[in-house]
Amino acid sequence: MKVGRVPWAATVLGLAALAYLMSVPRVSAPHLRSQAEANLPAGTPRKCVETWLAARRLRWGDIKDQGGRRVGLCGEIKKVYRVEFFSKTTIEFEFSFDEQDKLTSFSIDEDTNGL
């Protein structure tokens, strides 16, 4: 009789672990946004923003205007949740700079596609 309880308990624990992995993100847009607000005020040099992103192991690319001048940087974080069955969530970020490569604004948003 006790042998039957062990597989049942293991199944319940497995389902609980799966539910946890599906509901708790590796990183959240609000948390990342609050860190950026605290650490990257307007006027922050571009190099400092790049260092901040690199410290979080985030990759980015340049945003250029029609003349080819770098006016910002952007990137995305994929697989926000460790387990994603029916939807895919990404965090998209964008940082804008003035002519002196000083931060003027940024946005960090979450996007979910799926059911």
User: Rounded CA gap, 2 and 29, in Å?
Assistant: 45
pLDDT of residue 111: 80
- 53-108: per-residue pLDDT in tens? 999 989 999 999 999 999 999 999 887 665 566 677 788 999 999 999 999 999 99
pLDDT of residue 74: 97
Task: Please give the model's pTM, rounded to 2 decimal places.
Answer: 0.74
- 3-58: per-residue pLDDT in tens? 566 666 666 555 555 554 445 446 778 889 999 999 999 999 999 999 999 999 89
Widest pairwise Cα distance in the chain: 76
Please provide the DSSP assignment of 15-45 as one string: HHHHHHHHHSBSS-HHHHHHHHHHH--TT-B
Which residue, chain included where needed, has tokens 């599906």? 22
Beta strands in 1-115 (DSSP E): 61-64, 70-77, 87-97, 103-114
* Segments making up each domain of the chain, as ranges: 26-114
DSSP 13: H
With CA atoms as reference, report the closest residue to 96 among 86, 81, 106: 106
